[in-house]
Amino acid sequence: MKIATWNINGVRARIDTALAWLREAQPDIVGLQEIKTVDEGFPTSAFEDLGYNVATHGQKGFNGVALLSKLPFDEINRGLPGDDGDEQARFIEGVFSVPSGALRVVSLYLPNGNPIGTDKFSYKLAWMRRLQGWAADRLKLEEPLVLAGDYNVIPEPRDAKDISQWVNDALYQPESRKALRALEALGLTDALRATTDASDLYTFWDYQAGAFQKNNGIRIDHLLLSPQATDHLVTVGVDKHVRGWEKPSDHVPVHVELSL
């Protein structure tokens, strides 16, 4: 089973790119982030025509996440628990039936957090604490779980072409990286790092200053797997070539193959 994550950076602006990639890659389940539309504005029928069931948690103009699945949804949960006043659409969970039982896949869009020293950075860290609490509860179920999304965290220096450009950015602050490590310490595995130690694998290139042409990228889109999902890990891939397509997102799809 192929499960992917992709920050699409506006699904209506990238619909042709999205459909072309789906036809090429043939993922079974996809988590999209930054769909930037309310649920009613999501181009659901275009994805249904390719055989996908669609679940969205949208927001006008900003944020927004979605799940596309060739499997039917057994359950859909929208919004990260822990703060009833949080209106930002950044989290959606789907539950699916697989031969081994239940599979849970989350599409998440973690807050950027810039600038440091503002409420935006505090919100980022608070959101990560809520995610840790949620994940700790879900891991007790001992089911295959995939946390797929744009984490807006650069885990290590090797996850950037030039880490010196990011030392004052919220994506690489000690607090951000510590929170990601705490999440992994619950028992979650970074799928890509379980398969390679390569230092030139990036998932985001800025639109400015020819970043993609210079391969001046960072790795901030991650697939974290529960132990039960890690047991079935086969391969992980980054579809870098999609960044070179017409009207690309500044992120590219990352996918994992599980023998479920």
Active site residues: 109, 150
SS3 19: helix
CB atoms within 10 A of CB 5: 30
Q: In the structure encoding, which two tokens stand for residue 158, read together?
A: 């090797």
CB atoms within 10 A of CB 54: 18
Q: In the structure encoding, which two tokens stand for residue 166, read together?
A: 């990011």
* Alpha carbon distance 224, 239 (integer Å): 18
Q: Nearest Cα to 150, choosing from 121, 190, 110?
A: 110
**Count of residues for the chain?**
260
CA 153 from centroid of its chain's CA atoms: 11
User: Omega of the bond prior to 115 within 30 degrees of 0, cis?
Assistant: yes
DSSP 47-86: HHTTT-EEEEE--SSS--EEEEESSPPSEEEES-TT-TT-
Sign, CA torsion 243/247/250/252: negative
Strands 221-225, 254-258: parallel, antiparallel or unpaired by DSSP? unpaired
